[in-house]
Chains A and B, each alone.
Chain A
Amino acid sequence: MSMMGNSAGTNVLGEGASEEKGEHARLASFVGAMAISDLVKSTLGPKGMDKILVSMGQGNHVTVTNDGATILKSIYVDNAAARVLVDISKAQDDEVGDGTTSVVVFAGELLRQAEQLVNQKVHPMTIIQGFREACTVAKAALEAEAIDNAGNDEAFRADLLNIARTTLSSKILTHDKDHFAKLAVEAVMRLKGSGNLEMIQLIQKAGGSLKDSFLDEGFILDKKFNVGHPKRIENAKILLANTPMDTDKIKIYGARVRVDSMSKVGEIEAAEKQKMANKCEKIASHGANLFINRQLIYNYPEQVLMSRGVTSIEHADFDGIERLALVTGGDICSTFDDPGGSKLGTCDLVQEIMIGEDKLIKFSGVAKGEACTIVLRGASSHVLGEAERSLHDALCVLQSTVKDSRILPGGGCPEMVMARAVDELAAKTPGKRSLAMEGFAKALRMIPTIICENAGLDSSEIVSQLRACHADAAVRSNMGVDIITGETGDMVKNGITECFRVKQQILLSGTEAAEMIIRVDDIIKCAPRQREE
C-alpha cells in the first residue's frame, strides 16, 4: 500500500474535511462495524437482554426494546461503516420484519474474521471472493436443510405456531408466548394467504396484564360515537366519507365575503347553513344509518344527520377510513350527488365497547372476514410498545412463512449445517480464498456461541458438541442449542423452528454488507454543514 500521504501538505479538500486512507480507513470501518455489532449482540437469542433508549428530543422519551432494528434506528452513528450495518438492519426489517439483530451480528462477525485475514496480508478482494463462494455453498446447504410442510394443513399450522413461539421467545412476550403465538397465527391464518398485514390492526390499551390481550374478529376503531347517539347499531349500512363537515369553504381562488350591512352577513350565514343542510340531506339520502367521516363533523351537520336517523362518527384518520373501506367493502366518498352509485359498507353490528377505561367502537360481522384486531393490554406504555413491536415481528415472520412455507430448525442448527458445508468447501479449495472460507464458517458458528453466552451457558462446550453432531454430512441432524436444559437438543422435537426466508435474507444481506465494508480503502468526510442556530 503506498502511503505517501499529503507530503507537501496541500489540502485539496475543504476546511473541516478529513480523509483516511488505506490501513487507517480499513481499521476505522472495521472497528466501527464491530462496535455496532457488539452493541446489539447481547440482545440476541431467547435470553437476550433489552436496551433502554432515551431520546434526545423534548421530554427524553424512553423506549425499552430488544428489537435490533429499533435500537439501531434510534442511535446516532457517525462512523460510516456502522451506518452500513444500521442500514441493512432497517432493510431486513422492511423486507421480512425479523432477524434484524442477527443480520448485524453476522456481518460484524464476518468483519472480525476479515480483519484477522487482512492482518495476515490477504488481499481484501481475495477475502471477498472467498466469502462469496462460501455464501453460495451456505445458501445451498440452507435450502437442503429446509423442511416443507405446505401440503399438510395441520402440520403447517403447527409449524406456524412453533415459528411464532420461537420468534416471541426472545422478546418481552416470552412468558405468554403460547398465548401470543396463538393470537398471531390466528390473525395471519385469517388473511388466507393474501398477505396484507394492514388488515391486522394492533391497538394498545394500558391496563390489565399482557395475558388479557385478545384477538377480536372484526374491526375496532379507536373512536367514540358523537354524544347522544345510539351506542349500538344492528345491520349497519355505513357511508364512509372524506369530506369537510365543519365549514365547507368555497374553493374558488380569491373568493371572500365582503358585505356592507349586518343583515347581509346574516343572509350569507343562512345560505352557508343551507348549503350544509343540503349536503347532510344528500348524505342521508344514501340510505345509510351510520356516517363515518375522516374529517371533523361540527355540531350542526351532526344534528341534522341525527334528525334523519343517521348516526355519525367524526375524525377517523386516514388509516382508519382505509381499513374500514377494506373490511366493510364500502366506497370512500367525497361527493354525494349520486346515492345509487356509491357503495355502502355493511356490517352486522356496530357497538361501543369498553376496554379498561376507554370506549372503542367495534364493528363485528363485517363483509370481509379477513380483518381482525388484536388488542394489547399491559402494565405500561413501554411494555405495550415493546409488545407491539414483538408481535409485529411475529406477524411479519408468519406472513413470510405463509408465502414460502419452508421452515428450518432453530437454535443455531442451520448455522452449524452451513458452517460444515463451507468448511468442506474450504478443504477442497486451493489458494488463499480457502482462508476466507474458513473465516466465514467461523463467523457462522459465532451465532450459536453468542446465543449460549447470552444465556450464561458454556458456549465452547455446547458449540463443539453441536459441531460433532453435525460433522457427518450424510446424516441429517436437527441438533441445536436448547436454552432451557442448557444442553444440545433436537430442535424439531422441541418445536423450535424458524422461517426459511428470514434466515436466507440474513445470510445474503449480512454477506453483502460485510463485502461492502471490506472493499473500502478510503474514507473521505466532507466538512459538516454549518447549521444556523
Chain B
Amino acid sequence: MSLAFDEFGRPFIIIKEQGAKTRVRGIEAQKANIQAAKSVARTLRSSLGPKGMDKILQSGDGEITITNDGATILQEMEVEHQIGKLLVELSQSQDYEIGDGTTGVVVLAGSLLEQAEVLLDRGIHPLRIAEGYEMAAKVAVAELSRVSEKFEFSPDDIEPLVRTCMTTLSSKIVNRCKREMAEICVQAVMAVADLERKDVNLDLIKVEGKVGGKLEDTVLVNGIILDKDISHPQMDKEIKDAKIAILTCPFEPPKPKTKHKIDIDTVEKYEELRAQEEKYFKDMVKQCKDSGATLVICQWGFDDEANHMLMHEKLPAIRWVGGVELELIAIATGGRIVPRFQELAPEKLGTAGLVKEVAFGTTKDRMIVIEDCAASKAVTVFVRGGNKMMIDETKRSLHDAICVARNLVRSNAIVYGGGSAEIACGIAVEEAADRVPGVEQYAMRAFAEALDAVPTALAENSGLPPIETVAKVKSAQLKTKNPHLGVDCKETGTDDMKTQGVFETLIGKQQQMLLATQVVKLILKIDDVITAGRYD
C-alpha cells in the first residue's frame, strides 16, 4: 500500500477508509487476474466436446442443476472474483449473440491468458501482447472465412440442418436421441423462419417441459402450450375452431386507481350497489359472449360468480395467464389483447383450430394446448423426461441447437468442427507472425499456441493422448493443405471432419475468437485492483 506524505512527513490519507481496502498492483495484479481467469476456464475445460463431462451445481438454496452448457455452469456457480465475473459475462454474451459455443469461448480465453503469462515473464509489456493478440485475431478471423464453406439447404431439404444440430446435441446428455431432437429443432426453426429476410424470431419458439414419460415422447406442437387449466371443472375441455378473447382485465368489479370510498348510509344505496355489482358481472360476461368468443383467456383471476356465469354461458375460460404467454397467444392466433370489456369486438378475437386440456400421469397435472392458430407461426417444443434435472438440461440443449439452426438460416457459411478450424487458424497465424516486425510477433505466436487448446481439450476429454493427437493432425493439415482435418473424438476412424459431418457456424466461431480476444485484452490492461473493504 503506497502512502503519500505531507511536508512534515506525516502520512496522508488519500482514499477513504484506506485501511479497509486491499490493493494489488503492477505485474502482481496481472498475475493474480490471469490466475483467477485460468481457474474458471479450467472448470469448463472438461465439458468441451462430444465426450465432455457434466457438472453438478448446487445453489445456495440447495437446488441442483446438472449441465454441460458453459453459460449455465458459469451463471450458476456464482463466481465472486471480479475477473472471474468478466469470463462469466463473456460466455453469456456468446450465449446471447450466438447461443452456442459458450464453453469454447471461455476455454480459448483461458488459454490466451495462460500464454500471455509466459510472455509477461519474459518482460513483454502487456499492451504489446494485447496488440499482438488483436492482430492475430484479425488473421484468424480472415482464415476462418477462407476455410468456410457455403452450406446448401432449402425448406424441402432440411437434412443438412438436422446434421448440424446433431453436432451440437452430441455433446449433451440428450445425445441418446439426438436425431429426433435435432429434427424437432430444425422443424421448429423452419416453421417460424422468414426465409426471405433470413431471420428467425426466437420468441415464437417456446420450449416447455413436464416431468414424466421418456425423452422420446418429446414432441413439436404446432401451437402453444400453457401450464394452466380451464377455470371451471365443468367447462368444455376441448374447443374446436375457437374464437379467443384475450383479456387483461379481471372478471371482478372494477378497482379505480384513485383512492375512494363508497359510503353506504341508506338502504336504497345498499340495494343500488348490490344491483350494480350484479350488473357488472352480467355485462362482462355478456360483452364476451356478444363479441362471438368461444374461449376467454385472461391475465387475471375470476370471481366465483363470474366464473359460474361463464360456465353457464358455455364460455370456457383460462385464468392467470402470464403476460409473455398472452402476447404469444395474441401473435399466434392473430387476436388483439383487449384491456377493457367495452372494447371487445369480433375482429379483435384470435382464432385457433383446436384448444384442449390434456392431463398427465397419476397426478392432477393439466396443460392447455392451443393448436392450428390462425396466424400460425408460434410453435412449442414439449419436452418429456425422467426427472426435472433431465428436462431442464434438455431444454438448455434444445435452446443451443435451435440457435445453431437459426444462425444457419441467417448466414449459411460453416466451418468444420473437431478443432480443425482452430488448427487451420493456428497455422495461418503462425505464418503471419513471421512477417510482423517487432515484439508483437511473439504475442501472435502465443495466440497460435493458445488456439491449440481447443483441439487439445477435445482430445483429452475423449481419452486420446492430447499432445500426440494434436501434433499428428497439425502436421497432416500442413502436409495435405486440407483444413478439414480435426480430432476424431468419436473414434470413427477418419480425421476428416467433412466426411464425419461435424461442423459449426462460421459466425459462431468468429464471434468466439473476437470475444475471447477482447476480454483477454481487457484483462491484460488492468494493472491495479482495489477492493473495497466489507461495509460494516
Mark A residues whose CB is within 8 Å of B.
2, 4, 6-8, 10-15, 17, 19, 21-22, 25, 29, 78, 80-81, 83-84, 87-88, 90-91, 93-97, 123-126, 132, 197-198, 242-244, 250-260, 264, 267-268, 270-272, 275, 322, 325-326, 331-335, 338, 341-342, 396, 399, 508-509, 512-513, 515-516, 519-529
Contacts and interface: CB of A to CB of B under 8 A. Distances in A.
A155 B274 CA distance: 63
Contacts of B81: 10-13
Given A91-B387, A396-B362, A332 B84 contact: no
Given A84-B64, A256-B264, A335-B309, A12 B40 contact: yes
B304 A520 contact: no
B475 interface: no
B10 interface: no
Nearest to A124: B53
Contacts of A6: 39
A19 B390 CA distance: 22
B269 to A, nearest CB: 9
Interface in B204-254: 211-215, 232-234, 252-254
B436 to A, nearest CB: 32
Interface of B: 31-32, 35-36, 39-40, 42-43, 46, 51, 53-62, 64, 66, 68, 73, 76-81, 83-84, 173, 176, 211-215, 232-234, 252-256, 259-267, 270-271, 273-274, 276-277, 280-281, 303-305, 307-309, 311-312, 361-365, 385-390, 460, 462-463
B389 A334 contact: no
Nearest to A504: B214
What DSSP secondary structure best describes chain B's contact surface? mixed
B262 A255 contact: yes
B56 A91 contact: no
A342 B312 contact: yes
26 contacts: A10-B35, A11-B80, A11-B81, A13-B84, A80-B56, A80-B58, A87-B387, A94-B361, A94-B362, A132-B176, A250-B273, A252-B273, A256-B262, A257-B270, A322-B233, A331-B234, A334-B308, A399-B362, A508-B386, A513-B387, A519-B173, A521-B46, A524-B43, A524-B58, A525-B58, A528-B60
Contact of A252 (B58, B211, B276): B276
Contacts of B76: 524, 526
Nearest to A20: B56
A10 B32 contact: yes
A286 to B, nearest CB: 13
A81 B64 CA distance: 9
Contacts of B460: 2
Given A243-B304, A268-B267, 14 more contacts: A11-B80, A14-B78, A17-B77, A95-B213, A96-B361, A126-B463, A252-B277, A253-B256, A259-B265, A335-B312, A522-B54, A524-B43, A524-B55, A525-B58
A12 B264 contact: no
A125 B461 CA distance: 9
A293 to B, nearest CB: 11
Contacts of B266: 264, 267-268
Please list the 3 inter-chain residue pairs (A to B) with the smallest Cβ-Cβ separation, ordered nearest first.
Answer: A334-B308, A529-B60, A521-B53
A242 to B, nearest CB: 5
Interface of chain A, main secondary structure = mixed
A91 B39 contact: no
A365 to B, nearest CB: 21
Nearest to A89: B387
A522 B55 contact: yes
B267 A512 contact: no
Contacts of A508: 214, 386
Contacts of A21: 43
B267 A271 contact: yes
Given A332-B234, A524-B58, A268 B264 contact: yes
A196 B295 CA distance: 25
Most buried by A among B254, B270, B386, B460: B386
Contacts of B312: 331, 333, 335, 338, 341-342
B264 to A, nearest CB: 5
A512 B217 CA distance: 15
A268 B77 CA distance: 63
A531 B261 CA distance: 41
Contact of B78 (A13, A84, A272, A335): A13
A8 B38 CA distance: 11
Contacts of A255: 261-262, 264, 273
A188 to B, nearest CB: 12
Contact of B212 (A17, A95, A125): A95
A425 B61 CA distance: 44
B277 A334 contact: no
B396 to A, nearest CB: 14
A256 B261 contact: yes
A516 B387 CA distance: 11
B386 A334 contact: no
A90 B266 CA distance: 59
Most buried by A among B60, B364, B388: B60
B287 to A, nearest CB: 17
Contacts of A88: 386-387
A272 B66 CA distance: 60
Nearest to B51: A125
Name the residue among A91, A260, A513 with the largest chain B CB count within 10 angstroms: A91
A270 B267 contact: yes
A259 to B, nearest CB: 5
A124 B64 CA distance: 21
A126 B461 CA distance: 12
Contacts of A96: 361-362
A17 B253 contact: no
Contacts of B66: 80, 84, 516, 519-520
Contacts of A29: 56
Nearest to A322: B233
A334 B309 CA distance: 8
A251 B253 contact: yes
B46 A522 contact: yes
Nearest to B87: A12
A254 B262 contact: yes
A252 B262 contact: yes
Contacts of A125: 51, 462-463
B265 A258 contact: yes
Contacts of B305: 243, 334-335
Contacts of A198: 364
A270 B268 CA distance: 12
B303 A84 contact: no
Nearest to A92: B386
Nearest to A91: B387
Contacts of A325: 233-234
Contact of B60 (A253, A258, A527): A527
A57 to B, nearest CB: 18
A253 B77 CA distance: 47
Given A275-B274, A520-B53, A332 B232 contact: yes
Contacts of A260: 265
A333 to B, nearest CB: 5
Nearest to B45: A2
Nearest to B393: A516
Q: Which of B80, B84, B385 has the most CB of A within 10 A?
A: B80
B86 to A, nearest CB: 11
Contacts of B385: 512
B308 A332 contact: yes
A259 B32 CA distance: 76
Given A399-B362, A512-B386, A8 B35 contact: yes
Nearest to B215: A512
A399 B46 CA distance: 45
Contact of A13 (B77, B211, B307): B77
Contacts of B280: 252
A264 B265 contact: yes
A250 B277 contact: yes
Contacts of A242: 304, 308
A14 to B, nearest CB: 4
Most buried by B among A255, A399, A508: A255
